[in-house]
Amino acid sequence: MRETLVLNASFEPLSTVTLRRAVVLVLQGKAVVEQAHPELRVRAAAVELPVPRVIRLSRYVRVPFRRRAPWSRRGVLVRDRYQCAYCGRKATTVDHVVPRSRGGGDTWLNTVASCAEDNHRKADRTPEQAGMRLLRAPFAPSPSDALVLGLGGAGRQALPDWLPVPA
């Protein structure tokens, strides 16, 4: 039974774990007891400690991407309605705003849909360096958008408000 609440180091609730797992985390110094059962004690190895009801991780952990849309090239094209972020014409490629050669990653905020010409013209430069302007800022789709992006070519009815019907 998962009976102990686990908080991130930042105090955000993360998940629940079994009492045994909670005790191990505390004994390993990976978590501290935030709230314990007022009476019960648990004996583990040679130590005894209060039964933790809430523990908090000693070090902050990044929450995995499970609730966010996973990045994909197709997802970027769908998000940007297949419109080039630089000229607004039909986009067939994905451009890295900060080029990968300069450390830019495959992330929602660093990628935009781009026509092949603009992508080629921009090459290994930032928009500033290339003298090109983004018509709109890239954004990370919300969790509910993720479903739609995952479906990609789903019916027009499925498209959320921010995703106008393609011409």
Using CB under 5 A, list all residues that contact Zn ion. Answer: 84, 86-87, 115, 118
CA–CA separation, 76 vs 108, rounded Å?
Answer: 7
Instruction: State how beta strands 13-18 and 2-7 pair.
Output: antiparallel
The nearer residue to Zn ion, 70 or 88, going by C-beta atoms, is 88
Other C-beta atoms closer than 10 Å to the C-beta of 85 total: 26
The nearer residue to Zn ion, 50 or 127, going by C-beta atoms, is 127
The nearer residue to Zn ion, 4 or 114, going by C-beta atoms, is 114
The nearer residue to Zn ion, 86 or 108, going by C-beta atoms, is 86
Please state the closest distance from residue 81 (CB atom) to Zn ion, in A: 13
Please state the closest distance from residue 74 (CB atom) to Zn ion, in A: 18
Please state the closest distance from residue 131 (CB atom) to Zn ion, in A: 14
- 50 alpha-carbon distance from chain centroid: 36
7-14 long-range contacts, CB within 8 A, separation 24+? 7/34, 7/54, 7/55, 7/56, 7/57, 8/56, 8/57, 8/60, 8/61, 8/63, 9/56, 9/57, 9/58, 9/59, 9/60, 9/61, 10/60, 11/56, 14/57, 14/61, 14/63
- The amino acid occupying position 67 is R
Q: Give the pair of three-digit tokens for residue 5.
A: 């609440």
Please state the closest distance from residue 115 (CB atom) to Zn ion, in A: 3
The nearer residue to Zn ion, 71 or 86, going by C-beta atoms, is 86
Please state the closest distance from residue 132 (CB atom) to Zn ion, in A: 9
